[in-house]
Structure 1
Amino acid sequence: MAEAVFLAHLLVIAEEADRRRRCLEVKTIRDSTNPFHLPDAQFVKAFSLSKDGVRYLCDSLKDRLQRQRRSGVPVETQVLAALRFFTIGKYQRNVGNDSLISVSQSTMSRAIRVVARGIYEVLAREWIKFPQTTEERATVMERFEETFEMRRVLGCLDTCHIAITKPAEHDEGYKNGNGFTSLNVQVVVSSDLQFLSVNSRYPGSVHKSFIWQYSLIKEEMKRLWDSGETSWLIGNSDYPLEPWLLTPVAEATEGSPEWRFNNSLEHSRKCVKNALYHLLNTFKCIGEGKMLHYKPVDAAIIVVACVVLHNLRLHHGLVDVACDDDRAEYEEVSKVNENPQEMESGERVDEAEKVRSMLIQNYWDD
């Protein structure tokens, strides 16, 4: 009996020694491997940001990520670990064993959580901004008109579904029209593919028109309209027509002014399709075929963090803003069916009809 206890004790000691040895090996590899020595193009491919962009992130988040012990994980390593996960979309264990980022799974898990939340709480308001002043809105509308020949348009409105693991509670509420659990994420995108707004808190079963009706962006567009400032967002036929939200004319006759108007709307919507293409293909953790294995609230934070990183990539010239037709078709591949019977009714419909008819008469009636 005593011999068995002694052997068991030796086994525990051996396992602890092995664990410490493996931790030391990981730390040695981590400390001796510097991803900043990679060529610039390879660095961007691995982490989705330039070296300057990563240094900016580290500086912005250092107060939240600073290690408390000498043996703690450096800020740069935490940021790079999270970026590597966002970029390749693999499970934490695989990322932790990555040759560029040698950290334990527990360290990787914590890095993803604290970096995503840090980006969400510290940087989201700075990098995801709906234009607040008359001058800012005028600039955004001018760029939209230069790109798409649509006057007084601030951006395009749409949603995308981000797959998440089945929640422990209220899972049916997260099941979308295609049968998988998701977040239905509302975005507004400018002509240069910048995300002006993102709302990631709604479950996948919620119709996009419902999200719009109860969004702060709708309230802002309504406020601008009622103050006498003419500006529009563009949505597809899943949205209700409103004075400040342009949508296609139903069953327009080919060749008619309404048909030409619809074509112009669809052409303009390439910006939101293209922005989502870049977002979901750059940050594969939220891309098609991937699933975020997090609670809905944590998954929503990761989505917003990725949107911030997309806008940061735009700032550093890492996004091709050309609206390519093939990329625009990506939306149709990943589209989730919306039940038309669940579409919310529009506000001030009669006024909206008059506004749209006048627009068509003035600019599309040859």
Structure 2
Amino acid sequence: MVTNAICDHIVHQKISFPALIEERNNNKENLLNKWGFPGVIGAVDGTHIAILKPNAEEHNFVNRKGYHSINCQIIAILKPNAEEHNFVNRKGYHSINCQIICDYKLKITNIFANYGGSSHDSFIWRNSQMNDYLRTLYQANERCWLVGNSAYPLLPYLMTPYRNPINDAEERYNQAHISARNVVERCIGLLKMRFRCLLKERTARYAPHFVCKLVKVCAALHNMCIDASIDEELPHVENEELAGHDIVPQQIRNPHEQGVQMRKIS
């Protein structure tokens, strides 16, 4: 009941992507000053939330690592009767794959939890509202972007690293990119340290659609902690999702032409 109440009445107040150009420009300035990467308004990454084997269509929840999880981009709600095989991730366990976007303060500005652990980060991105929103900003000639790892497609509004840098300029770009992108890895690590029910070792013992609500509530409370300046020691967290980034979907191997040009001038 408490989780449902917070999800219904507080989450949308505490998790919001910068809607005003002034807010986005503030994010750009802070990320540029901190890490020397221009135009960045946030970083995106996916993280798996381990769940028990669902009663229905179990294979959709098993991720590539062998446990049941939800792959969160961090936003919405799975259908209660989603097929089980959709939750099996690449490590072989059931999960929900959550997509998280955060700003320079480690505040979560968007969370998308619509898909099981079998879904690749790039697929989740393509089907997210943020992809559509940032495309709209780009088409309106606003030059801002997120940074994401090599699991994501290179787009005019989503900068990814060079997979095989061939000169000093590309090496420098990758170093700045790593520094800027690190905010989302730190954000996810801090979120899971604050709310240990999200750790793989804890394995959420609820129906997948309720776990999606639980993740969003934890994200909202995480933002409230940041607003209240509640300090916690940042943990050293290995990003377990990185191990699967050698699995590159075809659409990522063929990057967006305008994204290639944007990456050269960023």
Letter in 2 for 1:298: F
The Cα of 1:338 is off from its aligned counterpart by: 5.0
* Aligned twin of 1:4: none
Greater relative contact order, per chain length (Cα 8 Å cut-off, separation 6+)? 2
Letter in 2 for 1:331: E
Structure 2 CA distance for aligned equivalents of residues 250 and 345 of structure 1:
11
More helix by share: 1
Structure 1 CA distance for aligned equivalents of residues 215 and 250 of structure 2:
25
The Cα of 1:267 is off from its aligned counterpart by: 1.1
Displacement over 4 Å in runs of 4+? 333-336, 343-348
* Aligned twin of 1:167: 54
Q: Does 1:233 align with 2:146?
A: yes
What are the Cα deviations for residues 117-148 of structure 1, in whole angstroms up to 9, with x where unaligned?
11111011110000001112112222222222
Question: Given the two structures, how large is their TM-score scaled by the length of structure 2?
Answer: 0.85
* Aligned twin of 1:192: 105
Q: Does 1:257 align with 2:169?
A: yes
* Aligned twin of 2:71: none
* Aligned twin of 1:363: none
* Aligned twin of 2:35: 148
* 1:218 corresponds to which of 104, 122, 131: 131
Counterpart contact for 2:151–2:248, Cα < 8 Å: no
> When the two structures are aligned, how many residues end up with a matched partner?
240
Structure 1 CA distance for aligned equivalents of residues 178 and 257 of structure 2:
23
Identity level (%): 27
Larger Rg: 1
* Aligned twin of 1:337: 244
Question: Given the two structures, how large is their TM-score scaled by the length of structure 1?
Answer: 0.62
- 1:176 is paired with a residue whose SS is coil
What are the Cα deviations for residues 251-289 of structure 1, in whole angstroms up to 9, with x where unaligned?
113x61101101110111111111111110110111131
* Aligned twin of 1:354: 261
The Cα of 1:311 is off from its aligned counterpart by: 0.2
- 2:134 is paired with a residue whose SS is helix
The Cα of 1:347 is off from its aligned counterpart by: 9.0
* 1:290 corresponds to which of 172, 188, 202: 202
- 1:317 is paired with a residue whose SS is coil
Q: Given the superposition, is the C-alpha separation of residues 347 and 287 from structure 1 closer, same or farther in structure 2, using an over 3 Å criterion?
A: same
- 2:239 is paired with a residue whose SS is helix
Structure 2 CA distance for aligned equivalents of residues 346 and 293 of structure 1:
37
Letter in 2 for 1:222: R
The Cα of 1:151 is off from its aligned counterpart by: 1.5
- 1:158 is paired with a residue whose SS is strand
Letter in 2 for 1:145: L
Q: How does 1:33-182 map to 2 (within 5 A)?
A: 114-178=1-65, 179-182=92-95
Q: Does 1:281 align with 2:193?
A: yes
Which sits farther off after the overlay, 340-349 or 266-275? 340-349
* Aligned twin of 1:270: 182
Q: Given the superposition, is the C-alpha separation of residues 336 and 298 from structure 1 closer, same or farther in structure 2, using an over 3 Å criterion?
A: farther
Structure 2 CA distance for aligned equivalents of residues 224 and 320 of structure 1:
35
* Aligned twin of 1:312: 224
The Cα of 1:226 is off from its aligned counterpart by: 0.5
Please provide the CA RMSD for this pair.
2.0
What are the Cα deviations for residues 51-81 of structure 1, in whole angstroms up to 9, with x where unaligned?
xxxxxxxxxxxxxxxxxxxxxxxxxxxxxxx
* Structure 2 unaligned regions, length at least 5: 66-91
Counterpart contact for 1:240–1:343, Cα < 8 Å: no
* Structure 1 unaligned regions, length at least 5: 1-113, 360-366
The Cα of 1:357 is off from its aligned counterpart by: 1.6
